[in-house]
Structure 1
């Protein structure tokens, strides 16, 4: 019997199959890309970690007293804030107050908290606030022996926000360390392999 010559279709199929075998399917990202992603994640992670650190609430003894005599003018705009899934718009209160030793400025309670009962303040009724003048935050508000906003609620609210920022920052820093560590490990392996081949 005569040997049959392979047809052109068979040759093309064999060529394609050989090409698939020789073509790598799992391309590794370049070193420059890994460095860029790693440094970007490290920068953002450091920023978020520092933001969480500086957003940590102040102890009561470091707050400043702001006293006011009713009534008090209130603005209730919708502002945006938060991070990640908690980011969005919320309504807050803007209160013009003069803290001890400070100029007049606008203060607001922590996100999603409210100073209750300000609309019912009578003429001449005294109000006492504990505020952070640098951050423009109201931690506590009292009037006539009644607590309108408690320090404990404000502290818990601000602590949760600061903790979330810090955790996000640490997560990005860990990702950056993993990216750059993987790159260093890969380069070390390549050097070891090249050293073995030279021998």
Structure 2
């Protein structure tokens, strides 16, 4: 992991995902957190919450879903992957009463890709999406923003999750946590996510 605020003292830097995508000339990279029990991808990554809504466009949403679908098949060897999508707004917009992004952006793209043969469900209210009945059905979840997806993922899998960048021409895995600079040198760091990242990289390379 890296400390973004320290890096930004030198030059603008959003994160590894965008940095590696830039230098591999990748346009549709996707951040995915994976564990043995679930996978959660993000439509937007390390951006202020106030910017999330305007960053969600039909083009970005469609490209993200296609990248996830392709890499679940090619990298993870999941045939006919099922993707469940979280809504942006409370109650997934409540038929437009609590927001229109679901109606104007998410649903048209989902319907289009379903007609093309992709197995996509949603948008679902995020507060009930990450429950056992959906976890058992979904090969991957797509959250609209960082904390919407990762708060749930890390609660269930902290120390066991792996950060994977989809859409790259290379395999890239990392830990599911930050730098924890305050713990440096104390000898009580949990290395399990690091081990999991190495194991998943080897597994993906062998598939």
Q: TM-score with structure 2 length normalisation?
A: 0.20
Structure (1/2) with the larger strand percentage: 1
TM norm structure 1: 0.21
Computing the radius of gyration over CA atoms, which structure comes out larger, 1 or 2? 1
